Amino acid sequence: MNLQQQSKTKVFNNQYSIIKKLSSGSFGVVFLGQDIISKQEVAIKVEKEENEEVKSLEREVQILKILDGLEGFPKFYWSGEDLGYNILVIQLLGKDLAFHFKQLKKFNLKSVLTIGIQAVSLLERAHLNGVIHRDLKPENMILGLGNEISKLHLIDFGISKVYRDANGKHIPFKEQKSFLGTTRYASIQAHLGHELGRKDDLESLMYILLYFLRGQLPWQNMGNVTDEERTKKVGELKLSLEDELFRDQIPEFQKIYNAIRRLQFKQEPNYKMIIQELRKAAESSNIVLDGNYEWSEIRQSTHFQTDTNQNLSKQNIQFNNSNEMKKSIEKQLSGAIQHGQEYQLILSSQNFLAPPPLSSRHNSIQRDDARKNSNLTQQSSIGNYCQSLNPNYQLSICDDKSGSKQDFFQNKQLSFDDEKISNFDSCEIIENGDLQQPLVQKYEKLRKGIKINLIQSLKKQMK
């Protein structure tokens, strides 16, 4: 074979070539690629076509087309099928917030407020265009490159949803839905088995901001619990701690969190108020919000590779033919795409957490909770507080021994969880005081019961 044949690289759509692997997840692999026409670097997401029970890439394509052109969301370039895989080509961005958190162990208040203000604006932008994210976490919050190195972006819309149709009609409220999202940052409504809405994205953001400030959340590292039990236990702890979750932080955080928790399902969040409170927190702490993060000054250190020196390590992957390309992708995908394990949550009538719907109790798929962070150092400053809330709380960043935790969502036999991208049931629940009151009463009873059971359980463990 001559040199010219050896140098040929397989391209998708006769335009996008793979350079190297960037990351992998439950549903596929992300590669660094290049537009061979414009020479622009791109991100290429690869998903197995035969993985029909997932189809998260199909959903993400439709969501990205809705958000395409909006500031703070990756640009959509192309999607299609090649070599038996579904392919998505989008704008290449920089490091995610999980990367910087891994380096610093926790963020200072200035960085957290800067992240919070940008994230609220991004969520408002997505919500105004009819999209709720439903899986907000540090890995899905990513900074830009070059001149946008400080600009936050939201990515990964594989389980996102359009919450209203072309006529602006809101999806109906539903109960008894399977848990959806990432256990560590999911809203209480997700644990309750309720349909998720705009307010749930904001609630997840508040858990993320608290995670950045403390370095860890009280419901991490629960001992002696199975994966099935973990989601339930975390939900109970979140519910019992909601009135005091931010007690060791500046008061604006608890005020914002309380306002979010009080929102009804279809009620529009007051994004302006949230941003004003975050700015107020900066003023009261004598913090100047100049758009910079604490890691900006040490970006050139050996622990922080920027988008500039990131290019130094690039090695082109050469493929002589399509078969070699397919084998290479198959190798990268092996272990990355995980088929769902059956989760059966057989809960008693006293348990408030959501059982999977009958149609999906044997059709659930796993989703990453968080990346492995086993090398992160311990955070002693919050140890006593967290241990007072959770006796099994360990001073470690990881959720479990393996450093990662698998969550699941419903109906893997369908490409979407309960409807097509913008269609939903015509039945509607009118939100008014009469209909909301029973739900509120039920919620308060559950909340009081959980607190009583939690206190009794803690007393028994202390004896």
Residues tagged active-site = 135
What is the spatial distance between Cα 294 and Cα 116, in angstroms, rounded to a whole number? Answer: 15
Residues 6+ apart with CB under 8 A from 134: 159, 160, 161, 180, 181, 196, 200, 201
Q: In whole angstroms, how far apart are CA 383 and each of 250, 308, 418?
A: 19, 38, 41
Tokens of 171: 């999806």
**In this structure, what DSSP letter does residue 74 have?**
P
Q: Is the dihedral of CA 188, 418, 136, 272 positive or negative?
A: negative
Other C-beta atoms lying within 10 Å of the C-beta of residue 309 = 12
For residues 304 and 216, what is the distance between their CA atoms, to the nearest angstrom?
22
Instruction: Please say whether the beta carbons of 74 and 64 come within 8 A.
Output: yes
DSSP string, 176-229: SPPP-S-TTT--HHHHHTPPP-HHHHHHHHHHHHHHHHHSS-TTSS-SS--HHH
CB contact set of 21 (below 8 Å; sequence gap of 6+): 29, 30, 31, 32, 332
CB neighbours of 360 closer than 8 A, spacing ≥ 6?
Answer: 178, 410, 411, 412, 413
Compute CA distances 174 → 195, 355, 416, 427, 435, whole Å.
5, 13, 16, 10, 13
Output DSSP code: residue 417. Answer: S
The two beta strands, 11-12 and 29-35, are: unpaired
Return the SS3 of 355. coil
For residue 234, give every residue at least 6 positions away whose Cβ sits within 8 Å of its Cβ, in sequence order, or none: 183, 184, 186, 191, 219, 222
Location of structure tokens 């995610």: 96
